[in-house]
């Protein structure tokens, strides 16, 4: 996918380039604890424009901004809401952890 | 290193004892163990039960990373982390962490580190069942605990 995207970028400078539809990505979203209950589901598949951030994915799932203390993980690693998503990413939102 | 999630009743002492069998007798002089057990009260209310939610895959990976960090940071023989998931009742153990070393200082420090990092980084969430209704347990900083 990355290679193809690069080719489209090169061709778009060419006057004779064929206009292709904007690239979209698919991400698998996981929600836990109070955020799962708030959104009403634990898993969702979202189609987003290429370059979309985790915060933009949240805006598709729920009314209102991401709650202040929300933790964000992409592919099971902590990150932040500004993280730019890639096709096939597993994105998770959850409240502060309370184990132990 | 042993890291595990326990979906059913957890016997922390059996876990420590069984894991210690894998270590060479005479190689360690100190075993530090922490056991966390569910109370029947929290924040001034009686608690009747609790559900421990986790993030399959991410929780195990982070526990393994925390255990590896402890092994890298102190001179230890080994560490153990076992955490309950699912439905749990007051009086039941929630978590056991243990560290084995030649001398007590490193075992104590590593055992404290395992619990501190687990509480701040490992994806677990507790939902308490009260006499009336349920509530998600709020995150507490170490100073608030």
Cα–Cα distance, A1 to B48 (Å, whole number): 52
Nearest chain B alpha carbon to A94: B123
Is residue B139, in this structure, part of any structural domain at all? no
Residue A1 pLDDT: 36
Cα–Cα distance, B17 to B3 (Å, whole number): 15
Residue B141 pLDDT: 76
Assign A19 a pLDDT band (cuts: 50, 70, 90): low
Which pLDDT tens digit goes with each residue over A36-66? 999 999 999 999 999 999 999 999 999 888 9
**Which domain range does residue A33 map to?**
23-94
Assign A93 a pLDDT band (cuts: 50, 70, 90): very high
Torsion angle of the four alpha carbons B40, B45, B46, B48, in this order, in degrees rounded to the nearest 10: -80
Token pair recorded at residue B53: 């939610």
Is residue A7, in this structure, part of any structural domain at all? no
Is residue B34, in this structure, part of any structural domain at all? yes
Is residue B137, in this structure, part of any structural domain at all? no
Assign B24 a pLDDT band (cuts: 50, 70, 90): very high
Among candidate residues B70, B81, B145, the one with its CA nearest the CA of residue B108: B70
Give A-chain residues touching B119 at CB under 8 angstroms: 97-100
Which pLDDT tens digit goes with each residue over B55-90? 999 999 999 999 999 999 999 999 999 999 999 999
Is residue A100, in this structure, part of any structural domain at all? no
Assign A18 a pLDDT band (cuts: 50, 70, 90): low
Torsion angle of the four alpha carbons B126, B127, B128, B131, in this order, in degrees rounded to the nearest 10: 180
Residue at token pair 């890291």? B3
Beta bridge partners of residue B118, listed in sequence order? none
Is residue A8, in this structure, part of any structural domain at all? no
Which pLDDT tens digit goes with each residue over B84-111? 999 999 999 999 999 999 999 999 999 9
Residue A22 pLDDT: 64
Is residue A74, in this structure, part of any structural domain at all? yes
Is residue B96, in this structure, part of any structural domain at all? yes
> Does residue A68 sit at the B interface (CB-CB below 8 Å)?
no
Number of domains in chain B: 1
Residue B143 pLDDT: 76
Is residue A36, in this structure, part of any structural domain at all? yes
Model confidence at B25: pLDDT above 50: yes
**CATH value at residue B96:** 3.90.1170.40
Residue A5 pLDDT: 37
Cβ separation of B124 and A30 shorter than 8 Å?
A: no
Torsion angle of the four alpha carbons B125, B130, B133, B135, in this order, in degrees rounded to the nearest 10: -20
**CATH value at residue A33:** 3.10.20.30
Is residue B65, in this structure, part of any structural domain at all? yes
Contact present, A84 and A53 (Cβ < 8 Å) = yes
CB proximity list for B145: less than 8 A, separation 6 or greater: none
- The minimum CA-CA distance between A81 and chain B, rounded to whole Å, is 17
**Which domain range does residue B80 map to?**
2-20+28-131
Number of domains in chain A: 1
Cβ separation of B126 and A76 shorter than 8 Å?
A: no
Which pLDDT tens digit goes with each residue over B29-56? 999 999 999 999 999 999 999 999 999 9
Neighbours of A71 (CB within 10 A): 19
Is residue B102, in this structure, part of any structural domain at all? yes
Is residue B101, in this structure, part of any structural domain at all? yes
Among candidate residues B24, B28, B120, the one with its CA nearest the CA of residue B69: B120
Candidate from A34, A69, A97 with C-beta closest to B123 = A97
CB proximity list for A2: less than 8 A, separation 6 or greater: none
Whole-Å CA distances, B100 to A69, B24, B28, B74: 36, 11, 6, 10
Is residue A1, in this structure, part of any structural domain at all? no
Cα–Cα distance, B114 to B112 (Å, whole number): 6
Model confidence at A3: pLDDT above 50: no
Token pair recorded at residue B64: 């393994």
Is residue B127, in this structure, part of any structural domain at all? yes
CB proximity list for B113: less than 8 A, separation 6 or greater: B66, B69, B70, B73, B74
């Amino acid at each position: 996918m990355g290679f193809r995207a690069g080719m489209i970028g090169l061709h778009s400078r060419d006057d004779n380039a064929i206009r292709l539809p904007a690239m979209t990505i698919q991400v698998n979203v996981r929600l836990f604890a109070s955020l799962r209950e708030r959104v009403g589901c634990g898993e969702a598949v979202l189609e987003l424009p290429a370059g979309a951030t985790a915060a933009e994915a949240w805006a598709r799932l729920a009314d209102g901004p991401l709650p202040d203390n929300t933790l964000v993980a992409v592919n099971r690693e902590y990150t932040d809401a500004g993280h730019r998503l890639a096709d096939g990413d597993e994105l998770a939102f959850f409240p502060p952890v309370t184990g132990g | 290193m042993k890291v595990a999630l326990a979906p059913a009743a957890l016997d922390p002492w059996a876990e420590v004892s069984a894991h210690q069998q894998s270590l060479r007798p005479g190689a360690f002089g100190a075993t530090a163990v922490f056991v966390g057990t569910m109370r029947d009260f929290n924040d001034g209310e009686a608690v009747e039960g609790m559900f421990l939610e986790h993030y399959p895959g991410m929780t195990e990976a982070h526990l393994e990373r925390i255990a590896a960090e402890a092994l890298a940071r102190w001179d230890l023989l080994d560490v153990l982390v076992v955490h309950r998931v699912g439905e749990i009742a007051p009086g039941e153990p929630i978590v056991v962490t243990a560290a084995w070393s030649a001398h007590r200082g490193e075992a104590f420090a590593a055992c404290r580190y395992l619990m501190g990092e687990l509480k701040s980084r490992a994806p677990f969430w507790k939902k308490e069942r009260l006499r009336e209704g349920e509530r998600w347990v709020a995150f507490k900083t170490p100073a608030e605990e």
